[in-house]
Structure 1
């Protein structure tokens, strides 16, 4: 759905109080779009741009989604873009993460997106227009070791988004999935702590990135404006996907080296902990 010049879109962004969500809210508001940011806090954060609405929304609660739909219909009479951005991070080895860890991340990162799509698709169908933007990750396309739960739910978001691209296209509804690599954000703070050695490694990758949430948001809006079904926001993600598709042996060797590096790091940390305790 190409954005007409000078036309303000009506946009709802989940997870809009921090990280990529907040960056998207700022970028959308700066160009004149009408925006409602949603997040878990009861009250709007002071950092929201002037004129941006706020609504508390827990993406795991159907009642909150119904309230969001009601708010959009009463405030604007419709919606142009739904951004399913809310999510949490998780890293961990398959034999360390529990089934409850899997349920936690699936409920937020996958079913939170599913609930958003289910809530607003009937409205978009009635309008004959709308754009769904689902935030996944490069981890939904390439699958590094010790991130099984995160990879799995992000891959599911990619699959859901591709399905909706075809399913909803006849109704005038477009769908995009956003697949960034690591960028500097507070997402590392949501790591559950179940596998601290691995999570410390993931946090270092996030914090060392030269990309910011604002950098990613700018690329997302370009992709949305052009109606791209898959939005790869950075060179690292594009290179990783190209390597997987065209140079699979190199891709596999890289992933095995990464897994071996994590194994050595975990064993070293465990040895150091044992020595300190003795």
Structure 2
């Protein structure tokens, strides 16, 4: 009987989700959930060829029905679900007054409600098991609140607070909760933006290219942290430093954000 734990990763066809899947298959049976069916199936096939036990599940995290059906398929296939990583997400950027309705609603549906739906679907099975781990991938922006990304900041802040609330509430059920708050790393995040203007998209592209850590490095650090299930996982050194600076000297940190905002506004 296969005793490997089962992990479900959303947004698993690209970027951090794929990097997590590639590094988890040695110790887990992995279910990949993504709305990009072609890329998802290609990723699943590559992982099978590498010796992994993989299941691809096509769906959209903004649909609770899709996620519930995914968990039901996992239960039928493997009979358990040990870890859920809510990784799927959208970015949004631009001056506050230029953010349209789509810039607020799309990230909220995917980043926040996608995690809510994922946790609710997984909880049905995890409660019966008496154990499980829910991992929500937010972003450092939800802690540091940089200017020029108001809707993205708000969504990630909400996801962080949701995770903190669930960590306490679900602990009595034997279910552990963590929230991951990475800073930028090279990825296709700029291709998954809601309503961004050309200048804001270009700025994000430059920042992603200059980021020092790869998606693989970030994924390795996340997976290494999961056994201890810390509430907050900051998988990069600079992210940890930024969070410490804000907590220790909030007024000074705010002044640094104001200066960043002045530089942004000079070009808008």
Equivalent position of 1:131 in the other structure:
133
Alpha-carbon contact 1:198-1:262 (below 8 Å) kept:
no
Give the whole-Å Cα distance in 2 for the aligned partners of 1:237 and 1:179.
8
1:79/1:130 contact within 8 Å kept: yes
Contact 2:84 2:135 in 1 (8 A): yes
Which moves more between the two structures, 148-157 or 186-195?
A: 186-195
Output aligned runs, 1:150-165, within 5 Å.
150-165=152-167
Kindly state the Cα deviation for residue 258 of structure 1 after the two structures are TM-superposed: 0.7
Q: What residue in structure 2 maps to residue 33 of structure 1? A: 28
Q: Once the 2 structures are TM-superposed, how far is the Cα of residue 193 of structure 1 from its aligned partner?
A: 4.7
2: CA distance, partners of 1:186 / 1:42 = 17
CA distance in 2, matches of 1:217, 1:107: 24
Could you tell me which residue of structure 2 aligns to residue 243 of structure 1?
Answer: 245
Paired positions, count: 260
Q: Any idea what the Cα deviations from partners look like across 1:61-89, whole Å, max 9, x if unmatched?
A: 12211210211110111100011100111
Q: Which runs of 4+ in 1 moved over 4 A?
A: none
2 CA distance for matches of 1:90 and 1:207? 17
Q: Tell me how far apart the structure 1 counterparts of residues 58 and 43 of structure 2 sit (CA, whole Å).
A: 15
CA drift at 1:117: 0.8
Contact kept in structure 2, 1:14 and 1:57, CA below 8 Å: no
Task: State the shift of 1:7 in Å.
Answer: 6.0
TM-score by length of 2: 0.93
TM-score of the superposed pair, with normalisation by structure 1: 0.90
Matches within 5 A, 1:91-170: 91-170=93-172
Corresponding residue of 1:213: 215
Extract unaligned runs of 5+ from structure 1. 1-5, 267-278
Counterpart contact for 1:42–1:56, Cα < 8 Å = yes
Question: Would the aligned equivalents of 1:223 and 1:231 in 2 still touch at CA under 8 Å?
Answer: yes
CA distance in 2, matches of 1:42, 1:253: 45
1:46 is matched with: 42
Report the CA distance between 1:96 and its aligned residue: 0.2
One of 6, 17, 23 as aligned partner of 1:10? 6
Deviation at 1:264?
Answer: 1.5
Deviations for 1:162-193, whole angstroms, at most 9, x for unmatched residues?
00100000110000100000101111111235
CA contact (8 A) 1:161 1:177 kept: yes
After superposition, the CA RMSD in angstroms is 1.5
Classify 1:126/1:138 alpha carbon distance in 2 versus 1 (closer, same or farther; 3 Å). Answer: same
Cα distance in 2 for residues equivalent to 1:42 and 1:144: 34
Aligned equivalents of 1:42 and 1:26: distance in 2? 17
User: Does the alignment pair 1:75 with 2:77?
Assistant: yes
Give distance in 2, aligned partners of 1:67 and 1:7.
Answer: 23
- Give yes or no for contact 1:93–1:195 (8 Å, CA) kept in 2: no
What is residue 22 of structure 1 aligned with on the other side? 18
Distance in 2 of aligned mates of 1:249 and 1:155: 19
Flag structure 2 segments of 5+ consecutive residues without an equivalent: none
